[in-house]
Amino acid sequence: MQQAKRILIIEDDLNLTLALYSALSHTYKVSTSKTASSGLIKAQNFHPDLIILDLNLPDHNGMVVTKKLRQIGVQAPILILTADADLTSKVDLLDCGANDYVTKPFSLAELRARIRVLLRNNRIHRKDVLVAGGLELNPNRFEAVLSGKLISLRKKEFLLLECLMLNSGVTVSRKYLREYVWGAKSPVKNNSIDVHMKMLRDKLDQTRKNSLIKTVQGVGYMFTAKLEIKT
């Protein structure tokens, strides 16, 4: 029997902590800390597979805690909880070692989806090939092969596809895609994302009845095929 994954929640809001514990403890082994200091200690002793970290803790902010976690050798994915809508600060968090973020208020369904993606992707290395729906994507060689034939993708099309495949089965917002492909400071608009997505779809769906990429109206896109990893 596979051992349950361990999740460490570092959050000072008691009500939110209890809600998260209640939502996650049926699937994962969950431990909690309400300060950065106690969280850093528990991260070394609990050996979490994933850390949920609040951006604003009473003794340190999330960026400081993220840096310290990486400095002491904690390699687990870090999911930031933030009420900050400033994209620049979010990118700074990713640059200093965080893996993803969820903006408050958020749904528990979205949080669970992000957790599943992070736990799965933590096993993925840059040399691995992403395989789904007859498509193979090799990020290391920057190649895409569909039904055994090499297809030509522009850089942004490749990155859009990579982001969607890594989040297969999860709706990816246009905002998240924009940050992943263009960077948070880019002035690119949603219609530009949609144009690039159409070009990508045209290349992927030439010989398919059903598109690999589903439009989620008003939100973003979803890669529908199940992802496998070829090492």
pLDDT digits (tens, 9 = 90+) for 113-162: 889 888 877 765 556 789 998 899 998 788 999 988 999 999 899 989 99
Output the pLDDT for position 152: 92
pTM of the complete model beyond 0.95 = no
Annotate 50-118 with DSSP letters as a single string. Answer: EEEEESB-SSSBHHHHHHHHHHTT--S-EEEEE----HHHHHHHHHTT--EEEESS--HHHHHHHHHHH
Average pLDDT on 84-110 reads 77
Average pLDDT on 192-196 reads 90
Question: 84-88, 182-186, 218-222: which has the minimum mean pLDDT?
Answer: 84-88
C-alpha separations of 190 from 37, 102, 112, 113, 169 in Å: 40, 20, 26, 23, 21
Dig out the tokens for 50 from the structure.
């994933």
| Helix and strand numbers, DSSP H then E, in the chain | 8, 13
pLDDT above 60: residue 4: yes
What domains are defined for the chain? 6-121 (3.40.50.2300), 129-230 (1.10.10.10)
Dig out the tokens for 124 from the structure.
């993925």
